Amino acid sequence: MEGRSGGCGLMGSGEILHLCQPDPGKSCGACCGLYNHADSSRGPLVERLRARTRRFRGAGRSPEDLRAFSAWVAANEDAAKRYEVIYCCEYLGFLDEAERRVGCLLHPACNGGSDLREVSFYGRELCQGHLCPSFTYLTGTEKSLLIAVLEDWYLYGLCVTDIDFVKQYAKFVSDRLGQSPPESLFRAAPVRQVARRYLSLKVHWPFRDPSVNRLGKYYFDGSSYMIGRIDYGKLGCEGSRFDAIFVSLSSLFSGGRELRRAEEIVEAHISDTVRALQDSL
């Protein structure tokens, strides 16, 4: 099943990887504005999606019913956003009772084959045909890594949409390993565990800029956005080899000591991954 996105990539074997709904254990709702709410931390998002899903399941499916549902969301949710240009779709909710997957409540797979997406802001055609940037820029190996390693919709969505964060990790690991690791190795428990610890930096990074208008490498200001930069000169340091990773993690360092500690953390994750892969080869 697909949410807003039809995003998928091709593996070398010819299998199709659906980035938005890759398997029963996780999904991504970023294209639907999931992380564009001013407070997009896990707890508030779970409460928001849970309330929507409960309401939707008890509602009718006529155009009037769906418009009434939209009005209910508008009246009961905090509408504050990070970036005004990105729409936060009110029809995004949980697709399963276990709340392991987020996705489009209007999708035909949720409604006995009836496609209700025409009432949404983007409309059926755009929702069905949209391909996210990660579809284009992540390699098959990078996509397989994320799908094999992560089993959490919240973390998966943050990672699969952060191209630099994933590609830099894969590059450092491949360069030190001397080859691109076989996709199958990321399904091995030891490799999955160390890779998941690195990816979890997206939610546990100790040097994250707490500004509400910051997500990943971007700063948002109303209808404008900018890419964040780290002023290494101000820190009294040269540029870091992990700069792209630090920027993706919305890093804000108070001085050279914090920068060096950040480099140690990332270095340890990369070294642990390479070691686990070497042991599994």
Position 223 scores a pLDDT of 79
pTM, whole model, 2 decimals? 0.92
Question: Tens digits of per-residue pLDDT, 25-43?
Answer: 999 999 999 999 999 999 9
Pair (115, 170) in one structural domain? no
For 221, counting Cβ atoms within 10 Å of its Cβ (0-12 exposed, 13-18 middle, 19+ buried), the class is: exposed
Mean pLDDT to the nearest integer, 56-79 = 97
Q: Considering the domain boundaries, does residue 152 fall inside one?
A: no
Other Cβ atoms less than 10 A from the Cβ of 67: the count is: 11
Pair (107, 22) in one structural domain? yes
Q: Considering the domain boundaries, does residue 145 fall inside one?
A: no
Residues 110, 27: contact at Cβ < 8 Å?
Answer: no
Question: Tens digits of per-residue pLDDT, 249-258?
Answer: 999 999 999 9
Position 220 scores a pLDDT of 87
Question: Tens digits of per-residue pLDDT, 197-215?
Answer: 999 999 999 999 988 788 9
Pair (88, 199) in one structural domain? no
Which structural domain, as residue segments, surrounds residue 236?
163-280
For 167, counting Cβ atoms within 10 Å of its Cβ (0-12 exposed, 13-18 middle, 19+ buried), the class is: middle
Residues 82, 220: contact at Cβ < 8 Å?
Answer: yes
Q: Considering the domain boundaries, does residue 142 fall inside one?
A: no
pLDDT band at 7 (very low <50, low <70, confident <90, very high): very low
Q: Considering the domain boundaries, does residue 147 fall inside one?
A: no
pLDDT band at 17 (very low <50, low <70, confident <90, very high): low
Mean pLDDT to the nearest integer, 88-108 = 97
Question: Tens digits of per-residue pLDDT, 149-196?
Answer: 999 999 999 999 999 999 999 999 999 999 999 989 999 999 999 999
Pair (190, 128) in one structural domain? no
Q: State how many domains the chain has.
A: 2
Q: Six-digit token pair at 187? A: 């399904």
Q: What angle do CA 55, 57, 62 make, to 5 degrees?
A: 95
Mean of per-residue pLDDT scores for the chain: 92
Pair (173, 261) in one structural domain? yes
Pair (107, 178) in one structural domain? no
Return the HEC string of 131-187. Answer: CCHHHHHCCHHHHHHHHHHCCCHHHHHHHHCCHHHHHHHHHHHHHHHCCCCCHHHHH
DSSP for residue 251: B
Pair (105, 171) in one structural domain? no
How far is residue 145's CA from residue 173's CA, in Å, rounded to a whole number?
12
Residues 252, 273: contact at Cβ < 8 Å?
Answer: no
% of the chain at pLDDT higher than 90 = 86
Helix (H) or strand (E) holding 92: strand 92-94
pLDDT at 2 over 80: no
pLDDT band at 12 (very low <50, low <70, confident <90, very high): very low
Position 6 scores a pLDDT of 35
